[in-house]
Amino acid sequence: MIASSRWQTWARRTVRRLGAIGAEVCFPGICCGCGRLFRLPRRTEQAVTFEQWMHRFLCEVCVQAFQAVRSPLCPQCGQPFASPHGPDHLCGQCQERPFRFSAARAAGLYEGGLRTAIQQLKYQGRDALAQPLGRFLWQTLGRHWEPAQFDRVIPVPLHPRRLRQRGFNQAAVLVREWPLLAKRQGHQVPPDWIDRRTLRRERPTQPQTGLKREERVTNLRRAFQVNPHSSGPGVKNLRVLLVDDVMTTGTTVDACAQTLMAAGAAEVRVLTLARAVVTQG
């Protein structure tokens, strides 16, 4: 009797194990970085690192190519410096012409697996990436600031026409779980914490690539507006966190910050998943 029940347990376990191996062979992961098939690792621990958050979407090689943004960096715009030595210090651009936001931080460099994951989310509409990337961004927020120190979280808006084409705003999907995560971790945030109505993109902007900073500023001037029809209290005296997927030159978030500050915001900070390294000229 005992022998038979042991045998049954063994048989059940073996079948389960064979099933898992079969599933791995028949349904391997397709790396969203390089397109190769890879073995999905079985992980149950609490995700902390980029690798752990993205292990179902990126192969080992692509996930290892992630580079966190590290000091030394500019304490205002968050731009990391090429040399890995020395303390944080204001970059040339922030000394010369400070941005309207008071600080910007990003999780990683816009390279490797992070770059392709963002592109897959944004241009291929791979919605399954929104959750791990959004949670990873939430964790990055907690590394730099307290969630409750912001009265509003504003995803950088798309122009309505672009929104119709794409069907979603990538910045907004990154923060959609944040109220739930805040609640779970006991942070006190208002019910209208995620604010998708106040800031609007009034004009579609020309591609910014290849433009000088001054031209980019002109290109974006008056591109954003605080919606006068929004039923909310606006942003007067509020501390705002602007969220976007990638920050390159900072001109877009700067234009948003300018609009919000002109509407009376007390402070604007910026958080992005990725930071593209730009050579300052």
Residue with tokens 């791979």: 126
Task: Please identify which residue in 24, 29, 34, 234 interacts with Zn ion, judged by CB under 5 A.
Answer: 34
Q: Is 74 in the site for Zn ion (CB under 5 A)?
A: yes
Q: Which of 6-14, 52-60, 182-190, 259-267 is the region at the interface with Zn ion (rule: CB under 5 A)?
A: 52-60
Q: What would you report as the CA-atom Rg of the chain, rounded to the nearest whole angstrom?
A: 22
Q: Is 117 in the site for Zn ion (CB under 5 A)?
A: no
Q: How far is the CB of 104 from Zn ion (least distance, A)?
A: 8
251 in Cβ contact with 220 (< 8 Å) = yes
* Cα(9)–Cα(68) distance, integer angstroms: 46
Q: Is 77 in the site for Zn ion (CB under 5 A)?
A: yes
Q: Is 31 in the site for Zn ion (CB under 5 A)?
A: yes
Of 200 and 275, the one with the shorter C-beta distance to Zn ion is 275
72 in Cβ contact with 88 (< 8 Å) = yes
Task: Please identify which residue in 54, 91, 104, 260 interacts with Zn ion, judged by CB under 5 A.
Answer: 91
221 in Cβ contact with 251 (< 8 Å) = no
Torsion over CA: 263, 138, 181, 252 (sign): positive
224 in Cβ contact with 157 (< 8 Å) = yes
Q: Which of 3-11, 22-30, 93-101, 188-196 is the region at the interface with Zn ion (rule: CB under 5 A)?
A: 93-101
* Total residues binding Zn ion (CB under 5 A): 11
Q: Is 140 in the site for Zn ion (CB under 5 A)?
A: no
Of 117 and 235, the one with the shorter C-beta distance to Zn ion is 117
Task: Please identify which residue in 66, 67, 76, 251 interacts with Zn ion, judged by CB under 5 A.
Answer: 76
Of 78 and 147, the one with the shorter C-beta distance to Zn ion is 78
Q: How far is the CB of 77 from Zn ion (least distance, A)?
A: 3
Among residues 119, 132, 81, the alpha carbon closest in space to that of 278 is found at 81
Task: Please identify which residue in 50, 54, 57, 59 interacts with Zn ion, judged by CB under 5 A.
Answer: 59
- 125: buried, middle or exposed (CB in 10 Å: 19+, 13-18, 0-12)? middle
Q: Is 33 in the site for Zn ion (CB under 5 A)?
A: yes
Site for Zn ion in 171-230 (CB under 5 A): none
* Cα(164)–Cα(160) distance, integer angstroms: 6
Task: Please identify which residue in 73, 94, 141, 238 interacts with Zn ion, judged by CB under 5 A.
Answer: 94
120 in Cβ contact with 161 (< 8 Å) = no
Of 105 and 152, the one with the shorter C-beta distance to Zn ion is 105
Residue with tokens 């349904």: 27
Q: Which of 30-38, 125-133, 166-174, 227-235 is the region at the interface with Zn ion (rule: CB under 5 A)?
A: 30-38
Q: How far is the CB of 2 from Zn ion (least distance, A)?
A: 49
258 in Cβ contact with 93 (< 8 Å) = no
Q: Is 247 in the site for Zn ion (CB under 5 A)?
A: no
How much of the chain is in helix, strand and coil states, percent to nearest 5? 40, 15, 45
Q: Is 62 in the site for Zn ion (CB under 5 A)?
A: yes
Strand partners, 269: 103, 241
Q: Catalog residues that contact Zn ion under the rule CB under 5 A.
A: 31, 33-34, 59, 62, 74, 76-77, 79, 91, 94
